[in-house]
């Protein structure tokens, strides 16, 4: 295994003192058991869900660099209010990176493991911001010929989240859906899924530039929350599509409540009788992200038949079970370079991931800015 006996791994450590520390540590690569393979990680995206663990609500204006160029260390202050909810991670050096892809460089003795030697595979299971990962065969997926690790790095979180939205819509008896921060990589995937499957989708974006991105890929309903006519535009799109469920990546501010209000106005346009309790159409907003950290503000001008809930991929997958998960994974594999293609603005090494100038960009969680880490790239 030569140079793969150990490799660098990115760690995040929140000290009880309130100091967040990001660093690279050299960790031994476990020898593969019979049903395991060693993968040289070559691509792993920085998803918002990774950022939550990597940086979270730390105040990066206080960030300091120390260490060396080959092994930089970043420290920053975690605000006191945020510390209260984080007791569970104090003083633990945690690896990061939900998903990734790479090349199998060593295998265990089983036939299934040996068959993967030299193959490009996708992986799920954490600690992907590492140079090497020893994985069980069942936790990797062989990629079709001609697929690079970069093509396959974002094979799980975004694709299954997007598919999870349309699956949830169907299972909970809604006929169309709303999505916010809709020009994101995830939002573009969702548009491709909905166009292909004939599902009505109302895209909410925050600027004309984002609207243009979606129109270019064929989106039918795009409304801009920065426009003066936003509520009317949204209501019109809801009447046209009949959408009564929304997935909201923003979380903070008035948007979730505005969506429910517009759904209620749309429902009342077809109601026959006045009810003091509002329409009897059930309206659901799932908050699955927190691009805006402010409180969610619900004006409750939408009757009493509504729900605002958290939504998270893992419990959703647990609920639908292995057979349906397999069906969704299969679809992702076969549409990886079309429906589920991701776009990155920059590819960085592990060391470059800890560059303050880069953190300032990917830490903003802006739509259209997405970084890919290549742990095998020289710093």
Q: Which residues bind a copy of itself (CB under 8 A)?
A: 49, 52-53, 56, 84-89, 92, 94, 251-252, 254, 257, 264-265, 268, 271, 273-278, 280, 287-288, 290, 295-301, 303-312, 314-315
Shortest distance, CB of residue 318 to a copy of itself, whole angstroms? 9
Pairwise CA distance, residues 186 & 181, whole Å: 9
Residues, the chain = 379
Shortest distance, CB of residue 295 to a copy of itself, whole angstroms? 5
Comparison of 235 and 351: residue with beta carbon closer to a copy of itself: 235
Comparison of 27 and 231: residue with beta carbon closer to a copy of itself: 231
Shortest distance, CB of residue 101 to a copy of itself, whole angstroms? 22
Comparison of 26 and 172: residue with beta carbon closer to a copy of itself: 172
Shortest distance, CB of residue 228 to a copy of itself, whole angstroms? 16
Shortest distance, CB of residue 253 to a copy of itself, whole angstroms? 11
Comparison of 87 and 118: residue with beta carbon closer to a copy of itself: 87
**Where is 134: in which H helix or E strand?**
strand 132-136
Shortest distance, CB of residue 209 to a copy of itself, whole angstroms? 28
Tokens of 247: 């997935």
Pairwise CA distance, residues 140 & 38, whole Å: 11
Comparison of 125 and 252: residue with beta carbon closer to a copy of itself: 252
Pairwise CA distance, residues 58 & 56, whole Å: 6
Shortest distance, CB of residue 278 to a copy of itself, whole angstroms? 8
C-beta neighbour count of 65 within 10 angstroms = 11
Comparison of 53 and 320: residue with beta carbon closer to a copy of itself: 53
Tell me the three state secondary structure of residue 52: helix
In this structure, the strands spanning 221-224 and 200-205 are parallel
Shortest distance, CB of residue 17 to a copy of itself, whole angstroms? 17
Q: Pick from 160, 165, 168, 161: which is nearest to 141 by CA?
A: 160
Comparison of 156 and 311: residue with beta carbon closer to a copy of itself: 311
| Contacts of 77-84 spanning 24+ positions with Cβ under 8 A | 77/18, 77/19, 77/20, 78/14, 78/18, 78/19, 78/20, 80/18, 82/56, 82/57, 82/58, 83/18
Query: Which DSSP letter does residue 76 get?
Result: E
Comparison of 9 and 147: residue with beta carbon closer to a copy of itself: 9
Shortest distance, CB of residue 325 to a copy of itself, whole angstroms? 18
- What is the distance, to the nearest Å, from the Cα of residue 155 to the centroid of all Cα atoms in its chain? 11
Comparison of 132 and 311: residue with beta carbon closer to a copy of itself: 311
Pairwise CA distance, residues 376 & 349, whole Å: 7
* Contacts (Cβ under 8 Å, ≥6 apart) of 116: 37, 104, 107, 137, 140, 142
Contact, 281 vs 265, CB < 8 A? no
């Amino acid at each position: 295994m030569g140079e793969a006996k150990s490799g660098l791994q990115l760690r995040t450590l929140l000290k009880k003192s309130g100091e967040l520390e990001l660093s690279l540590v050299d960790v031994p690569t476990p020898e593969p058991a019979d049903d395991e393979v060693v993968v040289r990680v070559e691509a792993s995206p920085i998803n918002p869900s990774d950022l939550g663990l990597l940086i979270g609500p730390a105040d990066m204006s206080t960030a300091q660099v120390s260490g060396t160029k080959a092994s930089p260390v970043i420290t920053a202050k975690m605000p006191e209010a945020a510390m209260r909810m984080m007791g569970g991670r104090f003083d633990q050096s945690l690896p990061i990176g939900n998903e990734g892809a790479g090349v199998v460089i060593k295998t265990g003795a089983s036939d299934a493991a040996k068959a993967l030697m030299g193959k490009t595979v996708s992986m799920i299971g954490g600690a992907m911001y590492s140079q090497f990962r020893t994985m069980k065969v069942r936790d990797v997926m062989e990629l079709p010929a001609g697929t690079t690790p970069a093509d396959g790095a974002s094979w799980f979180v975004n694709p299954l989240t997007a598919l999870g939205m349309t699956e949830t819509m169907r299972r909970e008896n809604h006929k169309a859906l709303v999505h916010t921060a809709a020009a994101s990589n995830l939002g573009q995937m969702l548009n491709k899924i909905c166009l292909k499957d004939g599902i009505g989708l109302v895209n909410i974006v925050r600027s004309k530039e984002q609207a243009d991105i979606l129109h270019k890929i064929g989106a039918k309903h795009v409304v801009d929350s920065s426009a003066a006519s936003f509520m009317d535009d949204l209501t019109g799109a809801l009447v046209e599509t009949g959408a009564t469920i929304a997935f909201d990546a923003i979380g903070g501010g008035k948007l979730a409540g505005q969506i429910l209000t517009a759904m209620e106005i749309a429902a009342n346009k077809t109601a026959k009788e006045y009810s003091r309790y509002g329409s009897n159409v059930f309206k659901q907003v799932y908050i699955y992200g927190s691009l805006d950290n402010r409180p969610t503000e619900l004006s409750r001008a939408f009757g009493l038949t509504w729900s605002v809930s958290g939504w998270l991929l893992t419990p959703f997958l647990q609920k639908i079970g292995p057979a349906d998960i397999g069906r969704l994974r299969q679809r992702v594999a076969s549409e990886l370079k079309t429906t589920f293609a991701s776009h990155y603005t920059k590819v960085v090494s592990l060391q470059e991931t800890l560059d303050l100038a880069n953190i300032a960009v990917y830490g903003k969680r802006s739509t259209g800015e997405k970084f890919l880490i290549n742990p095998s790239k020289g710093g």
